[in-house]
Structure 1
Amino acid sequence: MSAADRQAPELRIHRWIGVDGSDLKAPIKLSDLGVGPKVLFAFQHWCRGCHLHGFPTLQKLHGALESRGVGFAVIQTVFEGAHENTFDKLRINQVEYRLPVAFGHDEPPPGAAFPTFMEDYRTRGTPWFTVINADGCVVFSDFHLDADRLVANLESS
């Protein structure tokens, strides 16, 4: 995996739904995802690549790693198409892809050009995968993630 070698910033996303689709009263923090490695997946509802490649990759990762203590969160980064990439689309995608993980909705704060996750994690679009190791460092951050390779790396560590 390519390494970014930097400490993962705390999440600043305020709107989340839980595994059952209910609105969460408090924002998700990285520590809420457990003490082990974490996989963060950024998407947009209208992103064709997210549906063709991103979500299937995430399903594969979740199926292979969730029981091994890897934490997961999905974040809709609304950097365009706010009329289509809405908060209510979170549950639609959560159900469609059978992903019992928290989903966040990240729109740019007032006066900002990009959502907080894009700014803090230096992402460049969607679908985007960020992997954080157990020490809290970003070890992968890019459009395309090789699920088999990540699973093999985490199983060997």
Structure 2
Amino acid sequence: MAPIINAPAPSWSTTQWFNTSAPLDLPALRGKAVALYAFQMLCPGCVSHALPQAQRLREAFPGDALAVVGLHSVFEHHAANSAETLEAFLHEYRIGFPVGIDAAGIDDPIPQTMSAYRMRGTPTLVLIDAQGRLRRQVFGQAPDLNVGAEITRILQDATRDEAEPSHANDCAAGACPAPLPN
């Protein structure tokens, strides 16, 4: 089953965080776009492509506009993917962005956040807009230019949303005015 695009992004279920002073959640990141990378440290595609891409995004976009977050989602080789091993991995690979450990599944080998987002595996890139809506989800390798272009669109939409007056209350009252011409 595919994720529901433009719907509110599901909350994250995590057990521990690295590279942040406090646990992260989507409400705390409201107002920023979010690039969430679900990965496993023993996944070759994650190590060779997804995590380096996440680091490049962190360098390319301002931190007040885009939050880059890792989600260690382990659905296999649990014994080799301990929190202590992950901490050493993050240090060795110089991963400086926040990384949460996805909570184990309940009666399911698939971790909770991975399941909530209907991810097919790792790596998975999830793009969430500043209003907390799921905008894109890509399983596997996502080309840098495509990801950069999509994030730019999401950031432009956020800027446009801030500049345009909201008519949501008008529509709720039964009258939906047309947008003014530019």
Say whether the fold is shared (TM-score over 0.5): yes
State the match for 1:131 in structure 2: 127
**Unaligned ranges ≥5, structure 1:** none
Letter in 2 for 1:152: A
For the aligned residue pairs, the C-alpha RMSD in angstroms reads: 2.2
Classify the secondary structure of the residue corresponding to 2:90: helix
Q: In the alignment, does 2:40 pair up with 1:58? A: no
Please give the residue correspondences for 1:66-145 in structure 2 after superposition, counting only pairs within 5 Å: 66-67=62-63, 69-143=65-139, 144-145=141-142
User: Whose relative contact order is higher, 1 or 2, with alpha carbons under 8 Å and at least 6 apart?
Assistant: 1
Structure 2 length normalisation: TM-score? 0.72
Which residue pairs with 2:18 in the alignment? 17
Computing the radius of gyration from Cα coordinates, the structure with the larger value is 2
Q: 1:136 to 1:69 in 2, by over 3 A?
A: same
Letter in 2 for 1:145: A
What percentage of residue pairs aligned between the two structures are identical? 28
Distance 2:30 2:8 in 1: 16
1:56-112: CA deviations, max 9, x gaps? 111111111243520121111111110111112332332233332221112424423
The correspondence for 1:147, drawn from 140, 144, 148, is: 144
- The 8 Å contact of residues 68 and 97 in structure 2, kept in 1 or not, is answered as yes
Q: For the Cα contact (< 8 Å) 1:74–1:101, is it kept in 2?
A: yes
Secondary structure, counterpart of 2:137 in structure 1: strand
DSSP 3-state at the match of 1:8 = coil
Q: 1:47 and 2:48 equivalent?
A: no
Q: Contact 1:34/1:71 (CA < 8 Å) preserved in 2?
A: no
Matches within 5 A, 1:23-34: 27-34=23-30
Q: What is the CA–CA distance in structure 2 between the aligned matches of 1:28 and 1:122, rounded to whole Å?
A: 20
1:153 shift after superposition: 3.9
**For 1:33 and 1:86, how far apart are their aligned partners in 2?**
27
Where structure 2 has 5 or more consecutive residues not aligned to the other structure, the ranges are 157-182
Deviation at 1:113, TM superposition (A): 3.0
Closer/same/farther in 2, CA of residues 99 and 33 from structure 1, 3 Å limit: farther
Amino acid corresponding to residue 83 of structure 2 in structure 1: F
Q: Which runs of 4+ in 1 moved over 3 A?
A: 152-156
Match of 2:180 in 1: none
Counting matched residue pairs gives 150
